[in-house]
């Protein structure tokens, strides 16, 4: 990976679960010319529910299958497994089924080859065995963990990609954003931001604060803005 369309810096986002709040999130991203990858559980599409987060009850309604292509147009849909299990607890055949079947179903919905993924569940949700199954037995070529690094460096193993920052850590988010803007890169560097859009309804970070970050990080001539696939699998 030499550069990103002639630039040494890139910004990408990744949001999990395919929830209704993604529509509001996409409006903000589109306003500022930013791109995200959205990781969906195909078996849960259309399922409605609530979550308790940060002392609040928030909606956790999954977008319906028939709306996926329309909602995420201009961004990227990616694998989050069929039913969100911790893959480290499954045998190899089950890992393959959860990943590849989700990928195939999502590919049918969006009309392009789905190649990226985010591991489901928090904590220790991936290991070398699972990554090996994904590499050798599925068509997924990139997979993101939940282990934030505060780093812009690109790891060697794209099937265990540790992101830069979890966006609910808003002080760190803004600090790293400013650091990235001022960075004079001499090698490819990526600011990789991940989270769940419903977390803004729970006010871990407000919608206003997230838009402020998007405004801050956008529109820079030396930064390429792309989905996970556009950046890592071009």
Give the CA distances from residue 141 to residues 65, 73, 103, 124, 179, in Å, rounded to whole numbers and listed in that order.
23, 21, 11, 20, 29
Per the domain annotation, does 152 fall within a domain? Answer: yes
Residue 186: helix, strand or coil by DSSP?
coil
Number of domains forming the structure of the chain: 1
Per the domain annotation, does 166 fall within a domain? Answer: yes
Look up the domain containing 227 and give its range: 9-232
CA 33, chain centre distance (Å): 17
Say whether pTM exceeds 0.95.
yes
179-229 pLDDT, tens digit each: 999 999 999 999 999 999 999 999 999 999 999 999 999 999 999 999 999
- CATH number for the domain spanning 178: value is 3.20.20.370
Mean pLDDT of 27-50: 98
115-167 pLDDT, tens digit each: 999 999 988 899 999 999 999 999 999 999 999 999 999 999 999 999 999 99
Per the domain annotation, does 4 fall within a domain? Answer: no
Instruction: Identify the pLDDT of residue 124.
Output: 86
102-111 pLDDT, tens digit each: 999 999 999 9
Per the domain annotation, does 2 fall within a domain? Answer: no
Q: Helix 207-217 vs helix 22-31: angle between axes, to the nearest 10 degrees?
A: 30
Sign of torsion, CA 37 38 43 46?
negative
pLDDT averaged over every residue in the chain: 97
């Amino acid at each position: 990976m030499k550069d990103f369309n002639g630039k040494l810096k890139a910004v990408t986002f990744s949001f999990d679960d395919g929830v209704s709040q993604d529509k509001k999130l996409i409006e903000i991203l589109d306003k500022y010319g930013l791109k995200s990858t959205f990781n969906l559980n195909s078996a849960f599409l259309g399922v409605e529910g609530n979550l308790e987060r940060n002392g609040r009850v928030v909606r956790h309604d999954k977008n319906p299958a028939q709306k996926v292509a329309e909602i995420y147009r201009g961004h990227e849909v990616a694998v989050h497994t069929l039913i969100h299990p911790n893959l480290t607890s499954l045998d190899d055949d089950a890992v393959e089924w959860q990943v590849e079947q989700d990928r195939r179903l999502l590919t049918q919905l969006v009309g392009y080859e789905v190649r990226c993924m985010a591991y489901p569940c928090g904590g220790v949700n991936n290991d070398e065995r699972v990554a090996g199954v994904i590499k050798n037995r599925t068509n997924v070529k990139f997979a993101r963990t939940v282990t934030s690094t505060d780093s812009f460096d690109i790891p060697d193993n794209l099937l265990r990609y540790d992101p830069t920052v979890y966006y609910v850590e808003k002080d760190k988010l803004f600090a790293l954003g400013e650091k990235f803007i001022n960075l004079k890169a001499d090698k490819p560097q990526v600011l990789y931001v991940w989270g769940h859009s419903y977390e803004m309804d729970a006010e871990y970070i407000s919608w206003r604060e997230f838009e402020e970050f998007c405004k801050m990080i956008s529109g820079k001539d030396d930064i390429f803005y792309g989905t996970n696939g556009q950046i890592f699998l071009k």
